[in-house]
Amino acid sequence: MNCDVSIVIPIYNEELNLDELVSRLAETLSSTNYIFEVIVVNDGSSDNSWKKIISLSTKYNFLKGIDLAGNYGQTIALRAGFEASQGEIIIAMDGDLQHNPEDVPRFVELMHQGYDMVGGYKEERPELGFKKWISNTAHFIIQKISGVKMKYFGATFKAYRRYQLDNLNFLGDATRFMGALVLRKGMRFTEIPLKINERKAGTSNYKFSNVIFEVILDLIFLKFFLTYMHKPFRLFGVVGIASFLIGLFLIGGILFGFFFLGLKIKENYLAEFLFSIFLIILGFMFFGFGVIAEVGIYNYFLKKNNTLYNIRSKTNNAGS
């Protein structure tokens, strides 16, 4: 079918929110002039979310459901929805009603004005003290690493053009940095303020203490992904050369002292000698890692079907 806008919603245990979410989307989108679809991806919910999706899909023909065989996390659930979508404009949003479905037309209108991506940010940021400092610091680092000057990277609620997502491989918790991964120099993007609601039902999986550690790891991943994903040998090669040259320099100095200055390696410099050999071996190891990584990346992008998830079933109107 021809489709203008696809809305992808990953959910986990949102049975109590689905009725209102879908009905409000139906009311909002029915007043527009574009053809739309809503794809709800059930990410291994332990409640009756999938049964609710099946029931709603019989009532609303625009609703498509995908039931993943297990809990893969928000990033992979979004990827499953993106790959099943047909719209030229793709909007990702959360399914807990903290995002207002009535805001969807605002995203679409801006995309029709020629933007490549439209993001949402919290109209009010209630965080204080340490949480605010962590958030500001993380955003500053992401801006420096990616070169993208966004107000807020963490919101799921964003609109993309299809071509931006077709060849983007989502790994880890990439949703935190979707804007940074998608945008490149010269692309047009904007952000709109959003009112974020309190969760009406269900339990949030967000824990600030866990997020701090995860963000640190993801920042390292982001730097690798943006800078070295297509050329990992440059990273491992630089480390390997540095390690090899330092080790070679040290062992050369020790051997020079042994042959010409009478140094006693075994008695006085054994630890330094062994450490120098270790650095040289480490340099060769990093070279090897670089070669293996290059081959791995080459083979990865040669594959046409890099599916990181399994689908248990789909609603009847979701296709094969």
Residue-wise pLDDT for 268-280, tens only, equals 888 888 999 999 9
Do 25 and 95 reside in the same domain of the chain? yes
Nearby residues of 195 by Cβ (< 8 Å), 6 or more positions away: 100, 123, 124
Full domain range(s) for residue 78: 5-211
Q: Is residue 312 part of a domain?
A: no
| Domain end point (choices 211, 240, 269) | 211
Measured in whole angstroms, the distance separating CA 18 from the mean position of its chain's CA atoms is: 24
For residue 142, the model assigns a pLDDT of 65
**Mean pLDDT across the stretch 46-56?**
95
Tell whether 289 is covered by a domain.
Answer: yes
Rounded Cα distance, 300 and 309, in Å = 16
Q: Are 170 and 76 in contact (CB under 8 A)?
A: yes
129 and 11 co-located in one domain: yes
Runs of H (alpha helix) within the chain:
15-30, 49-59, 74-84, 104-112, 129-146, 162-166, 178-182, 208-228, 232-256, 265-268, 270-302
What's residue 163's pLDDT? 85
What integer best gives the mean pLDDT of the chain? Answer: 80
Closest among 156, 119, 152 to 135, alpha carbons compared: 152
225 inside domain: no
- Comparing 218 with 103, the larger pLDDT belongs to 103
- Smallest Cα–Cα separation from 184: which of 207, 204, 203, 167? 167
Domain boundary at 180, 211, 242, which?
211
Domain of residue 139, CATH code = 3.90.550.10
Token pair for 60: 């609303």
Can you give the C-alpha Rg of the chain in angstroms? Answer: 25
Residue 119 binned pLDDT confidence (cut-offs 50, 70, 90):
confident
Query: Mind listing the pLDDT tens digit for each residue in 17-46?
Result: 999 999 999 999 988 888 999 999 999 999
Pairing mode, strands 158-161 and 311-314: unpaired
Return the minimum-mean-pLDDT range out of 90-104, 114-128, 140-154.
Answer: 140-154
| Residue 221 CB burial class (10 angstroms; 0-12, 13-18, ≥19) | middle
What percentage of the chain reaches a pLDDT higher than 90?
Answer: 39
Q: Using one digit for the tens of pLDDT, what is the confidence trace for 194-241?
A: 887 777 665 655 554 445 555 655 665 656 665 655 566 666 777 888
Provide the number of structural domains found in the chain.
2
In a shared domain, residues 57 and 189: yes
Same domain, 139 and 240: no
Q: What is the predicted pLDDT for the residue at 63? A: 96
pLDDT of 136 = 63
Whether residue 54 is found in the same domain as residue 172:
yes
The larger pLDDT score, comparing residue 72 to residue 104, is at 104
Question: Are 46 and 180 found together in one domain?
Answer: yes
